[in-house]
């Protein structure tokens, strides 16, 4: 069976731990899966040349500043409750470049974000969580792309390789 991959930007240091704790606390409170804090660049890649293409992509993208602007929610499992990132020129160009390189991926609209909770919850519960999260605004620099195995079980996702940007 062909492996499924995603490309992530991950925060480091204090920001990583802040979001890791939010994800862990929400997962425990709402009986939901845990996962590493990340901003997906592109997901659901099934490409035999994923390592070579990711290496090429990493050379085309310069280090990026990701600015988290606010908590929000959406209506799909993997974007249930999230921290929206500003769709700045850097991240949108990186996403466009990734999509030109990888043609076999989930083609939904690119909305840069850091997921906080996976699941299918009512709008009322999601709004309550967003209100409780309060101000999440933070900025962090990423200088690596993380190639991650990403099947159906978030707890089994793992970073396979890191590629330095630029």
Q: Which helix (H) or strand (E) holds 71?
A: strand 64-73
The pLDDT of residue 1 is: 47
The pLDDT of residue 150 is: 87
Q: By the 8 A CB rule, do 65 and 98 touch?
A: no
Q: Which helix (H) or strand (E) holds 90?
A: helix 89-101
Q: Give all domains of the chain, ordered by start, each with its CATH number.
A: 5-164 (3.90.1140.10)
Sign of the CA dihedral with 10 first, then 21, 80, and 47 last: positive
Residue 63 CA to residue 115 CA, distance in Å, equals: 21
pLDDT digits (tens, 9 = 90+) for 54-104: 999 999 999 999 999 999 999 999 999 999 999 999 999 999 999 999 986
């Amino acid at each position: 069976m062909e492996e499924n991959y995603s490309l992530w930007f991950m925060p480091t240091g204090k920001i990583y731990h802040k979001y890791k704790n939010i994800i862990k606390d929400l997962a425990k409170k709402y009986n939901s899966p845990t996962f590493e804090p990340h901003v997906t660049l592109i997901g659901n890649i099934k490409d035999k040349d994923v390592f070579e293409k990711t290496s090429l992509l990493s050379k085309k993208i310069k280090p990026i500043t990701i600015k988290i602007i606010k908590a929000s929610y959406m209506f799909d499992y993997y974007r249930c409750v999230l921290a929206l990132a500003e769709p700045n020129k850097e991240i949108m160009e990186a996403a466009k470049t990734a999509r030109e390189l990888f043609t076999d991926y989930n083609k939904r609209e690119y909305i840069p974000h850091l997921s906080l909770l996976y699941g299918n919850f009512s709008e009322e519960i999601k709004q309550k969580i967003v209100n409780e999260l309060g101000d999440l605004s933070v900025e962090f620099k990423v200088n690596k792309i993380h190639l991650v195995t990403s099947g159906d079980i978030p707890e089994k996702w793992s970073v396979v390789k890191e590629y330095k940007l630029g």
